[in-house]
Amino acid sequence: MKKITLIGFVLFLCLQLNAQDYVPAASNLKQRAWFADAKFGLFIHWGPFSIPGSGEWVMNERKLNVHNYTNLKDFFNPVEFNAQQWVSMAKNAGMKYITLITRHHDGFSMWDTKYSDFNIMNTPYKKDIVKMMADECHKQGIQLYLYYSLLDWHREDYPHETGRTGQNSGRTGKGDYASYLQFMKNQLTELLSNYGEIGGIWFDGHWDQTEPEGAKDRTSRIDWKYNEIYSLIHKLQPQCMIGNNHHLTPFAGEDFQMFERDLPGENKSGLSFQKASDKLPLETCETISNSWGYNLSDTYYKTEKELVNMLVKAASLGSNLLLNIGPMPSGKIQPEFQDRLSAMGAWLKIYGESIYNTRAGFIKPQEWGSISQTDNKIYIHILDNKTNTLSLADVPVKKIKKAYLLKDGTPVSYTFKKAKLTINTSTNATDPDHVIVLDVLN
C-alpha cells in the first residue's frame, strides 16, 4: 500500500512539474502582446437559457431538472441571428475581439459537436452558431475567443455530487471525471480544429468544486488535470491563450488573468480576492445591465459615462475590458445594448489613442480620474468633471515637451519642475472623459 502511494505521489509530482515547465510558444507571446494592446472586447452570453428571460443561471436558480430543462432546445430558434451584424456592431464599437459562449453551465453546445446530443443542430434552428461567428470574425478581422464551461449541470459524468451548484438537476448517479475529462478534450479538439484560428479559450466553473470565494482554503475537490487540458490546447493551437475564471492566482499553463465584475486590485463583487499578475495580460469582464444572459426583469443599464469610465480605469490598470451583452432568444440584440456600444465606438474614434496600445499609468486611478501611457505620451483622464487644477508629484519623465487636449489639440497650460506637474484641467462637464496628452521625454 505504501509503495502504491509513493508511486502515485511521484506521478503527481511529475505532472505538476510538467505544468510548471510550460514555456509559451513565440506565437503565444505574440498573441499575448496583441491582446494586451487590444484593450476592448465583446462578451456574448447567449443560448437556450435566454428563452425564460431570467439570465444564464435559470436552470440552477429555478431548480429545473435535466429532463425539463432539455426541452428548451425544442424552442431555441434564433431566426433573427445575424453574425455579420453582430460582428460589425462589435467592430463599430471599437472592440478588437469577441468572446463567445460555446457551452455554458447548462451543458448546451452552440456548435455541431459529435459528443453531445444537447446542441444547436438538434434545435429547430439547425445551424452551427460557432461556425457562423468564426467565419464572420475572420472575415472582418476581429479575433475570436471561446468561452467554455468546465462545470456541467446536465451531464451525469460531471462530478456533480461534490459541486456547489446543480444539486436540483435530478442526477442520482456518481460522477466519472475520467469520462467527463475525455468529453471535454473531445469538444475542445473540435473547437480548435474546425473553426480556424482561435485567440483564446475562456474557462469558467472551477469554483463549483471549491469553498466560496474568500475562504482560507479554496483547494479544488477534484483534480481537473489542467496539465492535460492545457497541453492539448497549446498543442492544437500554440498561439491560443488560456484563461480560467477560478478567482485565484493564475495556474501554471495559463496565459492571461481575468477578474469578474471587478477591476484588477478591487473586490467590489466579492469574487476577486486574488492579486493581479505582473507577468500576464489582464482582463476585466463586466455587464452593460446587471445581467449576463437575457433578463426580462433587468431594466438597469449603465450610462455612456459609466462605461467610458470603466474602460478608462481598466486601461489605466493595464487591463482589457470585456463588456457583455445578453441577446434575446430570437437573436436580436436589445436597442439599449446597441445604443451604448455605438456611443462607445463614437468616443473611441476620438479618444482611442489614449486606450489602445497603452500600458498602466505610473499611478493608480484616483478620485479625479486616472492615467494611461505609452513610451512617449502620458494621457491624463479627468473623469470627475470637477477638477480644474491637478498637481502630480514624482512624474517619471525628464521633460514635458507639450500638453494639449486630445479632442482637438488645444494647448493646455502647465508647470513642470523637479518631477512635479501642475496642470490646468478645466473640463467640459458634458464630456464623459476630459483627456490631456503630455508629449514627454524619458
Give the three-class secondary structure for 420: strand
- What is the rounded distance in angstroms from the CA atom of residue 273 to the CA atom of residue 271? 6
- What is the rounded distance in angstroms from the CA atom of residue 382 to the CA atom of residue 371? 9
Cβ-based burial of 228 (10 A; exposed 0-12, middle 13-18, buried ≥19): middle
Looking at residue 11, what is its pLDDT? 42
Q: Which residues pair with 436 in a beta bridge?
A: 380, 405
- What is the rounded distance in angstroms from the CA atom of residue 387 to the CA atom of residue 368? 6
On whether the CB atoms of residues 355 and 312 are closer than 8 A, the answer is yes
What are 118's three cell numbers?
A: 444537447
CA angle at residue 252 from 251 to 256, to 5 degrees? 65
- What is the rounded distance in angstroms from the CA atom of residue 182 to the CA atom of residue 190? 12
R_g (Cα) of the chain, nearest Å: 23
- What is the rounded distance in angstroms from the CA atom of residue 244 to the CA atom of residue 207? 10
Q: Which residues pair with 244 in a beta bridge?
A: 203
What are 321's three cell numbers?
A: 475590458
Best CA proximity match to 69, nearest among 173, 157, 171: 171
* Residues in Cβ contact with 276 at an 8 Å cutoff, skipping those fewer than 6 apart: 257, 259, 264, 265, 282, 317, 319
Report, in this order, helix, strand and coil percent for the chain, each rounded to 5.
30, 20, 50
In 59-157, which ranges are E strands? Answer: 97-103, 143-149
- What is the rounded distance in angstroms from the CA atom of residue 268 to the CA atom of residue 180? 34
Q: Which residues pair with 322 in a beta bridge?
A: 41, 285
pTM: 0.94
* Tens of each residue's pLDDT in the chain, 442 residues: 334 444 444 444 444 444 558 999 999 999 999 999 999 999 999 999 999 999 999 999 999 999 999 999 999 999 999 999 999 999 999 999 999 999 999 999 999 999 999 999 999 999 999 999 999 999 999 999 999 999 999 999 999 999 999 999 999 999 999 999 999 999 999 999 999 999 999 999 999 999 999 999 999 999 999 999 999 999 999 999 999 999 999 999 999 999 999 999 999 999 999 999 999 999 999 999 999 999 999 999 999 999 999 999 999 999 999 999 999 999 999 999 999 999 999 999 999 999 999 999 999 999 999 999 999 999 999 999 889 999 999 999 999 999 999 999 999 999 999 999 999 998 777 889 999 999 999 9
Best CA proximity match to 201, nearest among 169, 249, 236: 236
On whether the CB atoms of residues 89 and 136 are closer than 8 A, the answer is no
On whether the CB atoms of residues 185 and 148 are closer than 8 A, the answer is no
